[in-house]
A and B are shown apart, each in its own frame.
Chain A
Amino acid sequence: MKNIIEIKDLHFYYEPNDGDPLPEDVLKGVYLKIKEGEFVAILGHNGCGKSTLAKHLNGILVPTDGKVIVDGIDTSDESKLFELRQTAGMVFQNPDNQIVSSIVEEDVAFALENLGVPYEEMRKRVDDALKAVNMYEYRMHSPSQLSGGQKQRVAIAGVIAMQPKCIILDEPTAMLDPQGRKEVLAAIHRMNREMGITIVLITHYMDEAAACDRVVVMDKGDIVLDDVPEKVFSKVEKLKEIGLDVPQVTELAWELRKAGYDISPEIITEEECVEAIQKLFS
């Protein structure tokens, strides 16, 4: 599989006001490659640079130094900005800030209208996108009548309608209740599985990260861990040190191991934990 995202020695700082000294780098030489079709979670505490990194993936920010290549496009190349934004779509935390129309299907069609997509094709893409997130039956509703999770799925449909190769989601479930979270995550996993869209999911929820192919952990502007979830979460001490959690089942296994019991440090699901405990008592 080819790399859809390639980040090389990415440095970034926010431009200071006139006369202020140069600030410290928010990103300090990040290297990251993501393959087409991968589902990657990015973890890190507030202020570690993960949202700044995400904003580099569709050119909202451009590197102070280093390179970000998305599907062959150099994000610093302003002439390719439109192409870039169609390749890499972005979904943010607050659903209320992302909805622009008073009818659901118009909201999903908004970007397509701007691009001048012909009517027939637009109709099809909007319908398909709404079906993909299970919101088709709400197409004529006003977004104001929807729950947070439903609004967030409409925002995701708006991105899918652009037929991007890659979607970056910055804490899309942070403001949702458990039910809304489940709905949105199911939609994201389906896009990855059925449409092969590459997903970069920024999250504070360890269970969301545990369900991804790969977990990247950031701290102080750089990547400190990058592996499959089992391996990343087995580094319990390291994660706690940088202010992150591990799933409860991983923590329990780690505690039991510390107490001298023979249990795998790479437990991340409830099923694995149940089986491991059964084994201890067999």
Chain B
Amino acid sequence: MAILETQELTYTYSIGSPFEKTAVDHVSLKIEEGQMIGVMGHTGSGKSTLIQHFNGLLRPTSGKILLDGKDIWEDKNNIRNVRFQVGLVFQYPEYQIFEETVYKDIAFGPKNMGLDDNEIKRRVLETANDIGLSEELMERSPFDLSGGQKRRVAIAGVMAMEPKVLILDEPTAGLDPAGRDKILEHIKKYHERTKNTILIVSHSMEDIASFADKILVMNKAKLFCYDDTVNVFARADEISKIGLDVPQITKVFGELKKRGLDFGKEVFTVGYAKDLLIRRLKEREVR
């Protein structure tokens, strides 16, 4: 069953004012439990507005949003519970750190959920381990840490609530390549342990290619596509037309195809490209 579902979800900002704008326009989609999903779309495409509906930060102008098959707005008093089940990590989450120690900062969410101390401790230490923060750091002030570490503390704070769905808005923005890979690896580790559903917003199709089962693309307030990673990459041309970045390697194989060298497969990682080319070159040698 779908963990999250939207039915004709529509959201219009500033209704009745000169700035009225429909940011999400009749979007219907089903997100299956346990998947890792990449979310793309350029600035103003509606992707941020869409994800803010997933945990009830915004209420649809029309249409529905279902969590575990249940309309989240059916009972307004239930919204707090929805926010525990769908965790949202904003862009640059390190700006939201406020506690005295790393431990307390990560424990803040679980504590608000009313969990007992032992359970809180288990969750804080497990998520800290997933995200690559050592136990020695737990009693340090988060403000003494490096930028990358602070970001991981902030992410761990949401992970420790063990939400059924974790949504991260550009978790790698502003990091260097090593920091980028590290954060994605740690998120994957958390995913392997918990098997929870994860949505990651990213501008980098190269990053998305490294983790996503499926990709959701928004364009001009509408759902442009929501499909398996391979199928989305097969539409590389259309995707670059709507202002998104297609991996260099995908463009290279697209161009080769145009020039008559068709490998019959969508290529979006260097590792895959290498294996494919070597295999074909070897076949030629045999012949």
Contacts and interface: CB of A to CB of B under 8 A. Distances in A.
Contacts of A247: 248
Interface in A193-207: 204, 206-207
A174 B256 CA distance: 31
Interface string B26-46: 000000000000000011100
B243 to A, nearest CB: 4
A175 B174 CA distance: 6
A249 B248 contact: yes
Central interface residue in A175, A207, A256, A273, by most chain B CB within 10 Å = A273
Contacts of A47: 146
A270 interface: yes
Contact of B251 (A245, A261, A270): A270
Instruction: Report, as a range, how many residues of chain B touch the other chain.
Output: 35 or more
Given A175-B174, A204-B177, A274-B252, A46 B42 contact: no
Interface stretch (A62-70, A97-105, A177-185): A177-185
A227 interface: no
B44 A147 contact: yes
Contacts of A259: 274, 278
Contacts of A281: 261, 280-281, 284
A93 B176 CA distance: 13
A148 interface: yes
A252 interface: yes
B176 A178 contact: no
B244 A248 contact: no
Contact of B43 (A46, A148, A243): A148
B287 interface: no
Contacts, number: 94
B206 A46 contact: no
Nearest to B244: A178
Contacts of A280: 277, 281
A229 B247 CA distance: 19
A177 B203 contact: yes
A188 to B, nearest CB: 18
Contacts of A44: 176
Contacts of A261: 278, 281
Interface in A211-256: 243-245, 247-249, 251-252, 255-256
Given A204-B177, A281-B281, 4 more contacts: A175-B174, A245-B177, A248-B252, A255-B274
Interface of B: 42-44, 146-148, 173-179, 203, 206, 243-245, 247-249, 251-252, 255-256, 259, 261, 270, 273-274, 277-278, 280-281, 284
5 contacts: A45-B176, A93-B174, A175-B173, A244-B178, A273-B252
Interface of A: 44-47, 93, 147-148, 171, 174-175, 177-180, 204, 206-207, 243-245, 247-249, 251-252, 255-256, 259, 261, 270, 273-274, 277-278, 280-281
